[in-house]
Amino acid sequence: MRALQASFFNGRSPIFSGLRQVGVGAAAAAVTFAAGGSSGPQSVS
């Protein structure tokens, strides 16, 4: 929804804005996953 709103202000296609937002979210997820993986498994007791 946010990407659709942004497309009205920057003049770009809603599809482009949506794909860009998905890309940003995927990159954030990858960084989070990598940071969690680098710290190793954690045991919760």
pLDDT in tens, the chain (45 residues): 666 777 778 788 888 888 888 999 999 999 999 888 777 666 665
What is this structure's pTM?
0.62
Which tokens belong to 26?
A: 């995927």
Amino acid 1: pLDDT: 66
Measured distance CA(26)–CA(35) in Å, rounded: 14
Amino acid 44: pLDDT: 61
Amino acid 42: pLDDT: 66
Amino acid 22: pLDDT: 92
In sequence order, what are the residues at sequence separation of 6 or more whose Cβ sits closer than 8 angstroms to the Cβ of residue 14? 3, 4, 7
Amino acid 24: pLDDT: 94
Look-up: residue for tokens 């990598």? Answer: 34
Which tokens belong to 34?
A: 């990598």
